[in-house]
A and B are shown apart, each in its own frame.
Chain A
Amino acid sequence: MTHVLVPVAILEGGTVSSGLVNLLSTMDVTVLGYHVLPEQTPPDQARAQFEDRANEALDDLTEEFRSAGGEAYHRLVFTQNRQQTIDRIADETSARAYAITGTTGPVDNVLVSLAGDTDATQIVEFVVELIGDRPIEVTLFIADGDVASDDSLATATEQLSAAGIETTTRVAEGNTFDALIDAVAGHDAVVMGERAPSLSSLLFGEEADRVAAASVGPVLVVRSSAAAADADDSDDNDT
């Protein structure tokens, strides 16, 4: 089964809403409990003091995912760099996507963003598998003026309807990011692609994090295979 990583700030009261647990019941899940430390603190020092408490909380969370459906595992990491940890564990578990947890009730509809320079085929494949035969509706979000948008939209709609998923389309007008935030309203969860680092992600933070901050619900970020392949390459170089 496809693997999804669910990072949780485990010692800061981070939890996973029941809506997300149920949404991911078609997937294998690794709950990544992380605790970010300031540089004054050696991670080992925090481990000695907090790991028991953290592992107890992680056990409970993992059990929730397991009873919802798929296999569930957990990892506990003390780190000074959250994104580096998420990327590493995602690579090690070959996760197709990672979740930014948010609060939501039962998920009835999902906003799937194909805007920008992302691999639409991969995102759609993931969504088809995620939804399975459940009656969850999809809204495809496409940027206006994307050269590839017509083609990829057609293919995406075809794939989704072949899987029996009810699909509507929404085309962005004006600023793509603002339009995406507008479109999030009325949806219970967002699926989007991982973007290559850019000037704007450097200035404003990762797009997915900004979407998550602007919407209340969870965001699933489908990892780009290019990024995964890069990571594999660098691992090969190291060894």
Chain B
Amino acid sequence: MASEELGQNIEGERPDIEQTVETDDATVTKTAELERTIGLSGGLAIGIGTMIGAGIFVFPGLAAGEAGPAAALSFAIGGVVALLVALPTSELATAMPKSGGGYYFISRGLGTLPGAVVGLSLWFGLVFATAFYLVGFGYYAVDALGVAGIAIGEWLVIPVAVAVGAGFTLLNVTGTENAAKLQNGVVALLLSILIFFLGFGLLDAIGIVGEPSAPETFAPRGTLPIFTVAALVFTSYLGFAQVATVAGEMKDPGRTLPMAMVGSVVIVTVLYVVTILVATSAFGAERLAEEGETAMVAVGRDLLGPAGAFAIVFGGLLATMSSANASILSTSRAIYAVSKDAILPGWASRINLKYGTPHVALGMAGGPILLLTATGQVEILAEVASFLHLIMYALMCVALIALRRDEPEWYDPEFRVPGYPAVPILGAVASFALILLMNRLSQIIGLAIMLGTAGWYFYYARDVTLRGAL
């Protein structure tokens, strides 16, 4: 498509769209090549590393308090919804293996307005999610001091979270060391800690080792909380779509993208459900709720003594850190994706030659993250993050259906969703349903952000045409 047909934004910038040829190893443009360097394990590490922090280390106490042992079911529901979206996302990602993820699919499949709303909302959604992970990290940091024998009140949680958020932003601007390998190692270590811990906990739960624990009512407050908790804890599943934001860098994307996305959802779902089962059977839902954000530390102490508490605190620090860092990176990519398409000014995606990092986009991620972290509102942060992601998930399912109904010439995905059209329809409906189950305040904030992004589109980029612009 000629660039004149794509229109321009209010400053006269046009979308930067290059003709490309995609191979398994590289993206080839007319005058340059972009190496694909992330393999399956790297993709899984991004997905799992982003997701695992919240679901296991922050939510068990909150979720069990509201839904009782049935919180395990809430996590299972979240996992099923995530899977219903991950499958259509995989198809779109193999058809359009470009960096930008959900925003890219929606702007190309449905048009600029939905694209702009999703792309800009994703920026804020990731900002909320990162703030949420950072607050979780703050709780674990304070607990870590507690385990080390230095008892400090919870007032320290927010300052620690803000400081670490600022530190990560700075590290990402100046750090040129490749942290990807580190991320793989962190995820592998986390999985080992969890599998050991959960294995022991399961044995304990069935009564082979340790004291027999009293069974309690599965769903003490009825069935509705099961679903509202599913909406709350859905933040634990936001990571799989982050895999799609690096679609342009994945080797053999037709194969690795679906495997990494679906695989990471399945792995974390199993871990989450088992964790909740173990935690509620070891402790009972009420005591879990009393322990709040770091309930898992108490569970660890109960099962394995001080060593267990230490392992969980250590795991929690690693997991929330890796989630926060992965999300900061995704935020900067989300900003780049919309800026490249002239929905945000071009300077937002500048790179500095000294460090080779996108310092403007990282700053546009880090600033709001610090503000939100300072509020310390775990549940609101989590729900708004989920709200904004779920809008994207629902629209990705819609985009898939729109593309399939009238397949454009360029649409040739290597992976096709099984069970079409049921899977994308269910995915869209379930995503909207989870949004309806959230707190009123979270819904209002989420809607306000979406309206704001739509307003920006009409002011700044009304004349940009992206549908089908590959």
Contact = CB atoms under 8 A, between A and B. Distances in A.
A35 B32 CA distance: 11
A80 B178 contact: yes
Contact of A55 (B32, B37, B358): B32
Nearest to A77: B33
Interface in A108-160: none
A79 B37 contact: yes
Contact of B34 (A38, A44, A55, A238): A44
Which of B178, B340, B351 is the most central at the interface, judged by chain A CB atoms within 10 Å of its CB? Answer: B351
B146 interface: no
A23 interface: no
A100 interface: no
Interface string B13-45: 000100000001111010111110100000000
B443 interface: no
B37 A80 contact: yes
B351 A46 contact: yes
B32 A39 contact: no
Nearest to A49: B351
Interface in A180-209: none
A11 B32 CA distance: 13
A43 B34 contact: yes
A168 interface: no
A78 B36 CA distance: 9
A210 interface: no
Given A40-B329, A42-B99, A77 B37 contact: no
B172 A43 contact: no
Given A11-B353, A49-B350, A78 B35 contact: yes
Nearest to A37: B356
B167 interface: no
B336 interface: yes
Contacts of A11: 353
A48 interface: yes
B35 A54 contact: no
A85 interface: yes
B362 interface: yes
A84 interface: yes
Given A43-B35, A78-B35, A80-B37, A88 B26 contact: yes
Interface in B342-370: 349-351, 353, 355-358, 362
B159 interface: no
A236 to B, nearest CB: 12
A131 to B, nearest CB: 32
B35 A40 contact: no
B213 to A, nearest CB: 44
B180 A39 contact: yes
B176 A38 contact: yes
Contacts of A36: 356
A192 B24 CA distance: 31
B356 A51 contact: no
Interface in B204-218: none
Q: How large is the interface on B (under 10, 10 to 19, 20 to 34, 35 or more residues)?
A: 35 or more
A84 B35 CA distance: 8
B319 to A, nearest CB: 19
A11 B353 CA distance: 9
Given A38-B357, A46-B356, A49-B351, A238 B33 contact: no
A67 interface: no
A224 B207 CA distance: 59
B249 A238 contact: no
Interface string B237-260: 000000000101100100000000
B94 to A, nearest CB: 15
B465 interface: no
Contacts of A78: 32-35
A49 B35 CA distance: 16
Contacts of B178: 38-39, 80
A169 interface: no
A76 interface: yes
Nearest to B181: A39
Contacts of A75: 33
Contacts of A44: 27, 34, 98-99, 248, 340
Given A48-B340, A49-B351, A55 B179 contact: no
Contact of B357 (A40, A76, A85, A88): A40
Interface in B186-207: none
B248 A43 contact: yes
A88 B35 contact: yes
B273 to A, nearest CB: 31
Interface in B87-110: 98-99
Contacts of B357: 38, 40-41
Contacts of B389: none
A42 B336 contact: yes
Contacts of B249: 42-43, 80
Contacts of A40: 172, 175, 329, 332, 357-358, 362
A45 B341 CA distance: 12
Interface string B96-130: 00110000000000000000000000000000000
Contacts of A48: 16, 340, 349
Given A43-B249, A45-B336, A238-B252, A38 B355 contact: yes
B344 to A, nearest CB: 13
A42 B356 contact: no
A159 to B, nearest CB: 36
Contacts of B32: 47, 51, 54-55, 76-78
Contacts of B355: 38
A50 B355 CA distance: 14
Given A39-B179, A44-B99, A46-B356, A80 B35 contact: yes
Nearest to A42: B99
Interface in A66-82: 75-81
Given A38-B355, A81-B35, 4 more contacts: A38-B175, A45-B351, A76-B32, A80-B37
Closest 10 CB pairs of A and B: A79-B35, A43-B34, A81-B37, A76-B32, A80-B37, A77-B33, A42-B99, A51-B32, A39-B180, A38-B176
15 contacts: A35-B356, A37-B356, A38-B356, A39-B178, A43-B249, A44-B248, A45-B358, A47-B32, A49-B351, A51-B31, A76-B32, A77-B32, A77-B33, A80-B35, A238-B252
